[in-house]
Structure 1
Amino acid sequence: MIQIVTDSGADLSEDQKKGLPIHFAPLRITLGDKHYDEINSITPAQFYEELKETSEYPITSQPTVGDFERIYREIAKTGQQILSIHISSGLSGTLNSAKLAGAGRSDRCHQKLANGKNSRTVGNHP
């Protein structure tokens, strides 16, 4: 079986995620002086509440190489292949982080990278 890796910018609802072999690396959000991991530390509702309370624009950053290394390592333990799908390298450094995390792996982890044009490549198509 192939395991899919993407980032939390993929437009997938909780219902769409159910039963899929998909793993998400978290985007980071900075809002004022607060820093969040998009998957583990803030919900969309909380984000919009925080946004109302500040005049500053939010800043996002790509998942780290370490985020992808952890995900790839866990999948590699199962001997399954990885399809890593991310937005365009022209829009974000996420693809580069994924490439760096997969470079030089000597275990049974096989990584294929797909460079999508936007998050709709991964998520909810119209």
Structure 2
Amino acid sequence: MKQIKYSYCLDGDGNLVNIKMLSHETRHNCKYYCLQCGQEMVANLGTKKAWYFSHKAETACDGESYHCILCEHYKYNDFYSDHICILYKKLALGTQRPKQTMACRCQYYKLNQTLMNHNIEEIEKDIEVVKDFMDML
């Protein structure tokens, strides 16, 4: 069975971790856990595919509530106040992690049920949620 690919999970202290925050050197510094089922995750940092987290062991977790839980984490932990900015970015061909982000569009959304029911990862693979658009310039 093909596993769901995740870009966020929790570390051992309950902090939200984005796969892009890791490196080959730091990915084994702590354990990572699924937002939905709480089972252990592994960081997949390949050279051909986009980086992602996957479950360490076979699981019945379907990821159905993953995005709602992610938005709830932002909302209730005051991670980005009551708004998030979705930055649509372009990657240079053949790169996984750009040194510079070329912004195409940035839009702020108020966290509400509409956004929480929206599958953020289907918008575009290379979305990055940022606190402030200016942080990326």
Same fold, TM-score > 0.5, yes or no: no
Say which structure, 1 or 2, has more relative contact order (CA 8 Å, 6+ apart): 1
> What TM-score, normalized to structure 1?
0.31
Normalised to the residue count of structure 2, the TM-score between the two structures is 0.29
Q: Which has the higher strand share?
A: 2
